[in-house]
Each structure stands twice: as structure tokens, then as C-alpha cells.
Amino acid sequence: MFVMTASTWAAGLQVQGNVGKLIPVAIKGYTGEVAKVLAFDLQVMGCKMVPEADASYVLEGKNGAENLTGILRDNASNFGFNLNINGAAPRVLAHALSNATIKAITGQNGIAHTRILFTMKTAAREWEVFQSDFDGHNPVALTNDKSIVQNPMWMPNHGGLFYTSWMTIGGLQNTTVVKHNLQTGKREVFSRYKGLNTGGAMAPNGTVALILSKNKSTDVYLAPPKWEFLKDIKGENLIRLTRAREEKSSPTWSPDGQWLCFHTLIGGKHSLVKIPAGGGQMVSIPTKGAFRPTQPSWSPDGKWIAFTQQRGGFQIGVVPAAGGNAKIYCEGEDPAWASNSRNIIFTRRAGGVNKKRMAILDVPTEQVKMLPAFTGGVGQPAWQ
């Protein structure tokens, strides 16, 4: 952990609201990795790097081995802060300074300290789940199953995750939803019925949404809080939310846990729908102007649903959570929101089967930053 000391904080700095324009910022005095991290982080969160003369804000300071200073002022020479941060690796210190800068300029919390989950191809027919910093640095493999794995999803407290694995257990390869505790490293089979087992979207109250085909069609089921697969091998305590032959995929909860949104087909048409957590009628979420929407992701502030449109290639779209006019932003798929409800991480195909790279969209400014490429193609990022 790092220690941050502020001798001045937000003393009269001109604060910008959530405007849709890139904020011109100059950074002065930083070198090497720290300078790169600051620039990347600030650009992700809606800034553009400009010479000092053109800047609305100037961030100036020095970086040492385990120490970083920063003075922020606006172009009217009002001071934002005077910070001294130390006690951690340079990247960690730089992320902390980026967050402080965004907080001072916009009043919003930054996301530069957060982590992501994603899948990466590590060998022929082998994928593993990885965790890394939000910018793709410091990747750590969480699995070593040498199998297919898809759909890593955080638990709401970020202390663990669910994913869909094709691991062989007892001589049988079957899709399996795995629950993985990141504190203890303990893994357990969460769902392994005959047929498809995927999903693993946990609501704030601990209910887990699954997509299963145990009853001969892919349907949405809810596992109540504290439900255990091995104590319910027949699935008698699962709540079945849908009964239809059409495919269902990508369950995502409203942040209050009242609605579950997912993708399905209505009258043969790809659609986003939602269903009350207690069961009931499926409600359509219109995505006017979007083609073949799949992969919905509900924003943490509850206002928006991001999705993948398929028109020629794949594009990232956003629609109000109640439905309405969809806005298409850029080429990409697999969208997932950051905790600030303004950044979306996604993947973009880079030529060749299963070859994808990650990128981050800043929705208000529409700025896209590509993450560093990995040796293997990556997929399905999930943001802490």
C-alpha cells in the first residue's frame, strides 16, 4: 500500500463537470514509466495530453524509486493539490496520482487503481483466466486447467469470481461453472448439470444467474443465496426464469439486483430483454438503431446498458437501461463497465481466428485507448 500526504487539496481549482469534451492537461517533470502511466491513465479518463501553453490543467512533479510528488494547478494558477505519495512501486504511485488528478479536476472517482479479469489463449485449445491491472499490466494467471475457459465474472465484493470451464473431471469433459475464491484460492464446482452450464452473474444479495440446458433448452435459472450444487444435484431449488427454445446468453444484473438482463431471440430477432429477479414476464429493452445486439452489460450507476452490435464486424453500443435510441461508439465486442460508469473495456479483433486485443472506451469523450498486446488472443474482460 502507498501513503498519500496532501498539503493542499482543491483550494479553488476550477472543477469541470462530466462534459463530453477531452480535458487538455499537461504533465511536467516526470520520467520513464511514471510519465507513460500518468498520460495513459489520464487519457483513459477523458483527458488529452497537450503542451503547457494549451493546457487547462498542469500536473507537475518528480518521481523517485518509491516516491512521487505532484502539484496540480489550473490555467488561472489556482492550486488543486500538492501531494507526496510513497511506499509502493512506481506504477502504483502513478495510478494513485492519476486518480487524485481526476478527482480534483472532475469531482469523480478515478479507476486507475482497479483490476480486470480476462481470458487469454495460452496454447492450442487452451485458455486460462488472468487478472491484471486495468491497463493490462501485471497479469497473473488464475487458472492452469489447460482447457477452454470463458466468461470470467467478478463477485460483487470482488473477493472472487465465476467462470465457465471445459475442465475434465472424473473422466468427463462438460461445461462447468466454477466458483473461485481469490482470498483462499479455493475453487468449487458451482454448476455441472447435463448440457450447458454457463453464466455466473451474482446479484448483490448473493443470487447467481446461470444459463443451463438441463431441461433441453438453454434457459435462465437463479441459484438462491448460499445454494450449493452438491446439495442440489437435481436442481430442485433452482428457480427457472425462462422456458423457450431460443438461445439465451450474457446475464447481467441491474445494480440494485431487481432485474436480470440478458440476450435472447424474440421472433427470430436478436434482442436484449430483462426479467424481474422474482420471476415474471420477460420485458424487451428496445435498442433502436442497433443491429443484432448481444452481450449486455449493465452500468454500475444503473443508467445504461452497453452491448455488442454485429453489423459487418462488431461494434460497442450503449442504450439507456429502460431502452430507447442506441448509440454505437466504435469497433469492438465483449463490453464491461468500469466502476465509474463512464469507461468501458472491450475487445477488438486483430485479424485471425480467436485473436483479440483489449481496449478502453471513455463514453462521454468517445476516446479509445488500446491496451498492450499479449502473446495470446484475449477475451471477455470483466472490470472490478
Partner 1 sequence: MEENYKEKIMKRIALINATALGAAAMLLAVGCKTQKPVGLTTIPGQKTIVASNPNPLPVPTPIGGGEIPGGTTIPGGGLPSVNPNPIIQPINPNNAGLLNEQGQGFTGQEMEDREAFAALTVYFEYDSAAVHPDDFEKIKLVALHLIQNPTHLLLVEGHCDERGTEDYNLSLGERRALAVIDELSRMNVGAARLRTLSQGEKVPMMLGLDEQSFAENRRGEFVLLMPAQ
Which residues of the chain form contacts with partner 1 (CB under 8 A)?
124-125, 127, 148, 150-151, 164, 166, 169-176, 189, 192-196, 198, 211, 213-214, 216-218, 229-230, 233-235, 245-250, 263, 270, 294-295, 308, 310, 314, 333-334, 352-354, 379-380
For the bound state, the minimum distance from the C-beta of residue 129 to partner 1, rounded and expressed in Å, comes to 14
Please state, in angstroms and as integers, the Cα–Cα distance from residue 107 to each residue in 16, 19, 134, 319, following that order.
8, 12, 21, 25
For the bound state, the minimum distance from the C-beta of residue 296 to partner 1, rounded and expressed in Å, comes to 10
**Nearest to partner 1 of 21, 194 (CB atom):** 194
- Rounded distance, CA 378 to CA 288, Å? 30
**Nearest to partner 1 of 81, 227 (CB atom):** 227
- Rounded distance, CA 159 to CA 140, Å? 16
**Nearest to partner 1 of 91, 192 (CB atom):** 192
Per-position DSSP letters for 260-325, written without gaps between them: EEEEEEETTEEEEEEEETT----EEE-EET-SS-EEEEE-TTSSEEEEEEEESEEEEEEEETT-EE
Do residues 285 and 274 make contact, with C-beta atoms less than 8 angstroms apart? yes
**Nearest to partner 1 of 95, 248 (CB atom):** 248
Annotate 12-66 with three-state secondary structure. CCCCCCCCCCCEEEEEECCCHHHHHHHHHHHHHCCEEECCHHHCCEEEECCECCC
**Nearest to partner 1 of 60, 246 (CB atom):** 246
For the bound state, the minimum distance from the C-beta of residue 349 to partner 1, rounded and expressed in Å, comes to 9
Phi-psi region of 308 (alpha: psi -120 to 50; beta: other; left: phi over 0): beta
**Nearest to partner 1 of 70, 332 (CB atom):** 332
For the bound state, the minimum distance from the C-beta of residue 334 to partner 1, rounded and expressed in Å, comes to 7
For the bound state, the minimum distance from the C-beta of residue 260 to partner 1, rounded and expressed in Å, comes to 15
For the bound state, the minimum distance from the C-beta of residue 210 to partner 1, rounded and expressed in Å, comes to 12
